[in-house]
Amino acid sequence: MSGKRILLIVGGGIAAYKSLELIRLLAKDGIAARVILTKAGAEFVTPLSLGSLSGDKVYQDLFNLTDEAEMGHIELSRSANLVVVSPATADLMAKAANGLANDLASTTLLATDKPVLMAPAMNVRMWGHEATKRNVAQLRADGVTVMEPDEGPMACGEFGPGRLPEPQRIFEQIKAMLYGPSEFGRLSGFKAVITAGPTREPMDPVRFLSNHSSGKQGYAIAEALAKLGADVRLVTGPTQLPIPAGVTAVKVETALDMHKAVQANLPADIFIGVAAVADWRPATRAPGKLKLKGGEEAGMTLRLVENPDILKSVGIRKKDRPRLVVGFAAETSSVEKHAKAKLIRKGCDWVVANDVSGDVMGGADNEIVLVSQGKPERWPRMGKGEVATRLAKRIADYFHSAESAAE
């Protein structure tokens, strides 16, 4: 892949230094970058470092006669295949949303006729402010792709959503926008609903029943399908993971919430139930914190009721059943035997089975058996990202084989 060029606008903020890594990733993939550095951005990263990595002039001033003679802001705004703003500060997004143009960056954004991608970075309270929400909504309505920020600790000491998405995630989104479904979109036109992560079943306002699922495998599968062009809806329980680029997330807490969200996002072509959904929930939720009574003989009886079987509700669906229903079976013994039984009991087309008695839950690797009506496929131990890529390719092959047979 080569011959593509982006115009990178580097906004102000401590995350500006990550633009250097982004340029390096782009160059490694043959994608050229021309840089506009804002006045605030120059407080955190230098034109010299940006220019050295991009191999091009760094533009800074709207009223620089030399710059305007060499590459006027109108030409600059249209000289690339894609305009990327990273980090996209609250100020830059506000200007773009409201059509303001008082510096080189904002003027370029107003003058461009190319797709625009924004990777936000700001304080958690700024990201959650109503004004920012309005501006993001307006930008998206105008056709701008605004990524969801990452969640985590910030330089200001606070924690929450607002961190700049990691350069690799921005890079993947850039590739998807530059090359589109014609090169990466074997599943373009397909809708996939994926569940991921654990659910939490509250006992009282401070305690809940849950499990060790990290959500890594489900998120990786969502990302892999999105890279193939699928419209991916990720129904996710509580995790610490960033939402993958190109994926629409629905965040839930309980199994009941997850069940409702899945039903709301159907019909779909593909359903993959990766989430470790709690089978049981407390019959009642105490209104206040349950107190320790003390004493050796003291104890508590907790009555549980069954949660809805989300996978089965999709697998046996009579109307608008997904064309491919894939379940996950987390087992600690007789993995293949239990997977085959689950395939029939839940109405699945495939079941991805794994042994979770070791370090699979929360770990980086997985070793699976893909069970279907045919001969089971045993995959060697590999990273969860590799499992996801391989499964996504297997799904694309499945649909293309079906289409070829129909012809």
Burial of 359: CB neighbours in 10 Å, binned 0-12, 13-18, 19+: exposed
Alpha-carbon distances of 366 from 77, 357, 395, rounded to whole Å:
45, 12, 18
Residue 383: other Cβ atoms inside 10 A: 14
Report d(CA 103, CA 298) in Å as an integer: 70
The helices-and-strands tally (H runs, E runs) of the chain is: 14, 22
The letter for the amino acid at 60 is Q
Cα 109 from chain centre: 26
Contact, 360 vs 348, CB < 8 A? no
Strands 191-196 and 231-236: parallel
* Separation of alpha carbons 325 and 274, rounded Å: 11
Whether 176 contacts 117, CB under 8 Å? no
Catalytic residue, from 155, 156, 206, 402: name it. 156
Distance CA 211, CA 305 (A): 17
To which residue do tokens 């329980």 refer? 237
Q: Residue 126 is encoded by which pair of tokens? A: 């700024």
What does the DSSP 8-state code read for residue 221?
A: H
CB 174 within 8 A of CB 33: no
The answer to whether residue 348 is catalytic is no
Interior/surface letters 222-236, b for 16+ CB within 10 angstroms, e for the rest: bbbbbbbbbbbbbbb
> Which residues are annotated as catalytic?
156
